[in-house]
Amino acid sequence: MDETLCTPPVPHPALEVWIGVECTLNRVGETFLNQIERSGHLDRLTDLDALAGLGARRIRYPVLWEQVAPSDPETPDWRWTDERLGRLRELRLDPIATLLHHGSGPRYTSLLDPEFPTKLADYARQVARRYPWITNYTPVNEPLTTARFSGLYGVWYPHHTSEESFVRMLLNECRGTVLAMQAIREVQPHAQLVQTDDLGKAQATAVMQPEADFQNERRWLAYDLLCGRVGPEHPLWSYLMSSGASAAEVEWFRDHPCVPDVIGVDYYVTSERFLDERVSLYPERFRNATHADIEAVRVCHQLTGLEALLRETWERYGRPVAVTEAHLGCTREEQLRWFEMMWQAAERARDGGADIRAVTSWAALGSFDWNSLHTAFNGYYESGAFDVRSGVPRPTALARLLQTRAAGDVPQHPALRAPGFWERPERFFYPPVGSPAASPPRLQAARALCILGTGFLARSLAQLCQERGLAYRMLPSEALNASQADILEHLSVTGQPWAVVNASGYGQIDEAERHTRQFFQTHVVGLTRWASVCRAQGVQFLTFSSDQVFEGESATPYTEWGTPSPVNAYGRAKWQAERRVLEAHPGALIVRSSGLFGIRQGKDLLGEALGVLKGGGQVHLDHEHCFSPTYLPDLVHASLDLLIDGESGLWHLVNQGQSTWGDLVGTMAERLGLSRQQVRPLTGLPSRQVARPRYSVMRSDRGQLLPSLRQALDHYYAHELTPLFL
């Protein structure tokens, strides 16, 4: 009997956690946009120690051509790279060196430059000679994706929009990759190519199926070229020839194959597409000359999914595969669910025999302005394993999940018990196509979040928990006065919640003044009792405080470290509650905010005032007291994110900016085409008016987590005012 038939298959190496630093350095016109500069990583060596603490085996890290040799290939500046790579070596965090990341190269070249491949190879040789210990390289990140954005869509430099430019750029990038790896292997013969690209899949209506078939073949083209698979028999041979390529330059890859040692698959919620000739069903931004191109998750009942794509990649190439970018710019629990979905998909593909090596948490330090395809820096930030908005990376819940997976354990956060939005019915923005998939096995019931209160803040929390797939239970405000035994009963009845959020009493300034003793008893004594029980039961605790804790004599915004000196009963109660809650539950989270707008259905002061103006009336509003107007959904989302992160202590969460109520209403009135003249100032404060701080503008030293006031008002206008007033 042949003994080889009895030899068990060699098991694949264990699935690893990798991480990556978003390092795009692309060009738009004459402007170079540097992500690592924007994130602050350029000036923070200590970031590497924090990243190493995640337990990852490898890190995708920039050794970028445009940064090292921006003006002259003969005068590179290695100082920054020397320091960073040296520290990574000390930390034993193995870098996958990226030489070009969505860029067109320094000013002395471009993706259309015939000499681009040799120039890139010359730079790669310099890198290998300087760092001969590096054994993993990505000379060009996502060559096919970059060629599409730079040569087909005109988004990035050199801003071309033709099939000919796309093909020329792709050939240059792939030839540059081959020559770069040849140059690197002259120095480091064991160097491996980790070749990345976005790998989704297109679905379509019957009319658009031929276009979908073409795109589904084109997505492999960079890998096929590198593997030497493109010849006259290739499905895209005619396309390449008709788009300006010559037979000789394409067949060159057959004579110089550079098969990736690891096929890197980058997969986003937007990677899978749906093509539809019925363009009237979709907004203008999704249309082109012949069809609409929309995220499949918003239309299709059945998505291909990462597991199937990983198997497809493995079966096509028979090479080790890694998920080289796993990121979702969304709320915190969805980020956790997205990474876990990808990890479990990789494990299932491995169980089916595919050699899947790793899942990479991309943008570990977050990323800026990818909502505008990295064409400008406008301040839109998506956090990752860390949030850098304070200037010092703060670990999020995703960091702990990565540490858990890197240690070989299974994460247990309650938010993971619910499906991600891409699996829930509310994901559909347009009429869905296809047949619903069979219902997946039900997850175990998630521990709920308990909300105290039934007012506008509590209702907003409940609504956004529903939208985010977070299980919750609500208790009336009266429960704040419960005894210790009754609190334990409440916790038991609500299924031992993982967190309690007190949302009662917010903004009740007049109520506190009228019923000072009762307000204090409920919102200080009762609240403290809840905090104490939650600490004893191992339950997280969040409560909201207010800008009313300040006296208002400052000339600059108050931070978390400002000294409270309240001028009314409400502020005094809130200040006492802050102190006592933190004494009773040092792990509690306390969020200070300010005057809120964006309470649904126009029931806030701003919406009601605009309604009066639209009806032709006048409103009399305060033009003297300056504060930080805060958009309620922004406040709730950020508070829930911090709660899931396990944050504690005092945080200021306000939209960055300042105004009076009179100015705020006047600004929005003008935007609606109403007369600002109808917004009249109060002529002296009524005697019944409770004292307020003259100036209660706030900012955060712990991280400005909410967008600017301008951005918040834009969102309020688009999503709440437009349906009501236009």
Q: Are residues 408 and 455 in the same domain?
A: no
- List the structure tokens of 247: 């037979």
- List the structure tokens of 157: 């430099």
Amino acid at 479: A
d(CA 702, CA 700) in angstroms, rounded, equals: 5
pLDDT value for 494: 83
Residue 227 lies in a domain: yes
Q: Are residues 44 and 160 in the same domain?
A: yes
Who's near 169: CB < 8 A, 6+ residues apart? 111, 112, 146, 147, 150, 151, 160
pLDDT value for 684: 62
DSSP string of 68-87? HSSS-TTS---HHHHHHHHH
Q: Are residues 249 and 374 in the same domain?
A: yes
Query: Phi/psi of residue 183, each to 5°?
Result: -65, -40
Pairing label, strands 262-267, 321-326: parallel
Which of 427, 458, 485 is a domain's end point? 427
d(CA 358, CA 163) in angstroms, rounded, equals: 34
Residue 695 lies in a domain: yes
Residue 439 lies in a domain: no
- List the structure tokens of 18: 């990798």
Query: Phi/psi of residue 175, each to 5°?
Result: -65, -40
Q: Is the dihedral of CA 668, 669, 670, 672 positive or negative?
A: positive
DSSP H or E run through 307: helix 306-317
Q: Are residues 382 and 487 in the same domain?
A: no
Report which DSSP code applies to 524: I
Cα radius of gyration (the chain): 28
Q: Which domain holds residue 715?
A: 449-725
Which of 396, 427, 458 is a domain's end point? 427
Residue 37 lies in a domain: yes
Q: Are residues 709 and 608 in the same domain?
A: yes
Peptide bond into 158 cis (omega under 30): yes
Tell me the angle at which helices 632-645 and 332-351 cross, rounded to the nearest 10 degrees: 50
- Cβ–Cβ under 8 Å, residues 693 and 552: yes
- CATH number, domain containing residue 670: 3.40.50.720
Residue 440 lies in a domain: no
* 588 three-class SS: coil
Who's near 413: CB < 8 A, 6+ residues apart? 333, 336, 397, 401, 644
Residue 25 lies in a domain: yes
pLDDT value for 11: 66
pLDDT value for 77: 98
Report which DSSP code applies to 593: E
In the sheet where 589-593 sits, what is the strand order? 472-475, 449-452, 499-502, 540-546, 589-593, 649-652
Residue 515 lies in a domain: yes
- CATH number, domain containing residue 154: 3.20.20.80
Q: Are residues 245 and 214 in the same domain?
A: yes
pLDDT value for 340: 98
- Per-residue pLDDT tens digits for 494-516: 888 999 999 999 999 999 999 99
CA 345 to chain centre: 20
Residue 461 lies in a domain: yes
Query: Phi/psi of residue 22, each to 5°?
Result: -60, 115
* 369 three-class SS: coil
Report which DSSP code applies to 407: T
pLDDT value for 326: 97
- Per-residue pLDDT tens digits for 116-157: 999 999 999 999 999 999 999 999 999 999 999 999 999 999
d(CA 602, CA 617) in angstroms, rounded, equals: 17
**Residue whose token pair is 């619903």:** 436
Q: Are residues 408 and 557 in the same domain?
A: no
* 412 three-class SS: coil
pLDDT value for 443: 54
Pairing label, strands 16-20, 273-276: unpaired
With a pLDDT cut of 90, the percent of the chain lying above it is 90
Q: Are residues 227 and 79 in the same domain?
A: yes
Q: Are residues 475 and 526 in the same domain?
A: yes
d(CA 716, CA 530) in angstroms, rounded, equals: 34
Which of 363, 395, 427 is a domain's end point? 427
- List the structure tokens of 32: 């170079």
What stretches of 331-407 show up as alpha helix (H) in DSSP?
A: 332-351, 397-406
Q: Are residues 504 and 397 in the same domain?
A: no
User: In the chain, how many domains are there?
Assistant: 2
Report which DSSP code applies to 287: B
Q: Are residues 422 and 456 in the same domain?
A: no
Q: Are residues 276 and 349 in the same domain?
A: yes
pLDDT value for 725: 72
Across the chain, which has 726 residues, the per-10-residue mean pLDDT values are: 47 90 97 97 98 98 98 97 98 98 97 98 98 98 98 97 98 98 98 96 97 98 98 98 98 98 97 97 93 97 96 98 97 98 98 98 97 93 97 97 97 93 94 81 71 95 96 95 96 92 94 95 97 97 98 95 96 98 98 92 81 92 94 98 98 97 95 92 67 95 96 92 75
pLDDT value for 205: 97
